[in-house]
Structure 1
Amino acid sequence: MIELQTIMYGLSCWDCNSLINNGCNDPFKEDDFAMADCTQKFLPRYPNQPGTICRKIVQKVNDEYRTIRGCGYLDDAGKEIKPNEHLANECVKRAGTFSVLIQYCSCNGKDGCNHSHHLIVSSITLIIPFIFSLYYIIL
C-alpha cells in the first residue's frame, strides 16, 4: 500500500517596513530585502496559524505614508486562509478620523506577489464603482 503525503504549500513574501528602509516604498527595491517563508512565521495571537497570504499595507497618518510588506494570516472577514486555498488579488481601502487612511492588498498566487504597484491599481477598480453609486444616490 502506498501512503500519500500531503504537501504543504510554502509561500514566501517580501518582508519590510518603509519606516526602517525607504526601499520598501513604491517603487519597490527588491535587492534591499529578503523574502520570508510564511509557513515559518506565526503570531502570538494565532500560534497555530502560519502565514498563508502576502500583504502589502500602505498607511497614511497626518500626511505621512508608510508601506509594510509581509505575511498575512487571516482574510478580511477574520477567516483563516488554508494552505493551497487560492485568494484573488484584492485590495481594501479604509478611511478614519484625523487624516488616517489605510489600504491593504492581499495575494497568494505566487511567491513575492506583494511586491508590485499593480495591487494598488486593483483597489482603484473597487473604488470607482463606489464613487459612481454615491454620485447617483446624491442626484
Structure 2
Amino acid sequence: MIIINNFMEYKSLEGQMVGSSNWHIIDQKQINRFAETTLDDQWIHTNEERAKKESPYRSTIAHGYLTLSLIPYLWKQIAEVRNISMEVNYGIENFRFGQPVKANDKVRLEATIKSVQNLKGTVKVMVGAKLMIKDQVKSAYTGDVVFLYHFS
C-alpha cells in the first residue's frame, strides 16, 4: 500500500502504476443484493439455473455497474490518502467492459496515476483503473476514475 500525505506526494506518482488490490470474490449473494438494490434483476444476473442452461457463460454474471461500484473499496487497498478533509468520487471516463465477471470469480483492481492537478486547493486525480479477473488475460474493464481531494 502506498501512503499519500499531500499534493506533492500525489504529483510525484503521476504516470506510475501504483499497485493492485487484494483479490475480491464476487459471489452470487453480492450479485443478488446489488440486483435488489438497483432493481435490475435480469435473469443473466440472478437466475442460476437458467444461466447454466441458456447463458453463453454457463453461469450468472455480475452487473457491470456492480464491478464499477467496487472501485472505491479496492482503491483504498492500494492507496491511503491522508490529511484530507474531504474526498469526492468525481467521475468516470473512457470505460470499456472487456468481458463479464462470472459469479464466484475473483477480481482485483490495478491502478495507475494518470494525472494530478491542483485546482485552487482542490486536488483532481485521474486514476487509470483496470479490473482483472483471476486466471484471465483479458480485463473485465479499463477506464479512468476521477477523485477530488481537499487536503487539510
Give me the TM-score of the superposition, normalised by structure 2. 0.25
Of the two structures, which has the highest relative contact order with CA contacts closer than 8 Å and spacing of 6 or more?
2
Give me the TM-score of the superposition, normalised by structure 1. 0.27
Normalized per residue, the structure richer in strand is 2
Normalized per residue, the structure richer in helix is 2
